[in-house]
Amino acid sequence: MDSHAFGDDVDVLRYSAERSEIARFVPSGAGRVLDIGCGTGGFGVTIRSVDPGAELWGVEPVAEAADIASDRYDRVMTGFYPLDTEDLPNQAFGAVFMLDVLEHMVEPAEALRAARSLLAPGGVLVASIPNVRHFDVWWPLVRHGRWTYTETGLMDRTHLRWFTRSSIEELFDVTGWTVNSLEGINRTEPVGWKARFLARLGRRTEDMFVLQFAVTAVPAAP
């Protein structure tokens, strides 16, 4: 069974972003779309900017956020995915989104395996996942021995799992997905001479200055 690191003190407004940087990964004409961890439904604005006719479904564990999202989406289920979502129809969604949710799960592999059955033929899964290899995470760890949780961002106190590009590739592979694209998004500018030096090393260090990875994937062939 999967669970998530959310408590009663979670500020639902943290989960209201429209995520416009994901717009280019939204397929047009997907029909019915599922947003897992939809928060208050802000991402629905971005989906409908690409596909005005999309039928929006959401899953959200925080009841107050799900309440707000229900005014924006066609249907919202309150609960944890996949534990509380057995009623989701199989092969019914042209796109499934998991935007910054896998890192909050005890068993992200279980969630990815379960999502394969949700996609209609030709459907796509889109995920965004924080990058623990970012300079702002590993430099304090290497230099000062500091692994300090924060209220938001890469070191969000509710994160249970941590990912790099290579571990993302491995996770999707072992859970039965073929990755179509994997790229860094939300790049940050290097600050300080150490960061600027690393940034000049090119491809070997480019991942150190992206906050997240965007993944598009389809179920692997049998």
Average pLDDT over residues 129-150: 83
**Separation of alpha carbons 171 and 212, rounded Å:** 16
Domain ranges of the chain: 12-131+159-188+213-219
25 pLDDT exceeds 50? yes
pLDDT tens by residue, 33-70:
999 999 999 999 999 999 999 999 999 999 999 999 99
What is the pLDDT at residue 1? 34
Q: Which CATH class is domain 12-131+159-188+213-219?
A: alpha beta
Q: What is the pTM (predicted TM-score) of this model?
A: 0.87
User: Looking at 87-96, 112-121, 197-206, which range is the least confident one?
Assistant: 197-206
Residue 168, sorted as left (phi over 0), alpha (psi -120 to 50) or beta, turns out to be: alpha
User: Looking at 65-74, 95-104, 117-126, 189-198, which range is the least confident one?
Assistant: 189-198
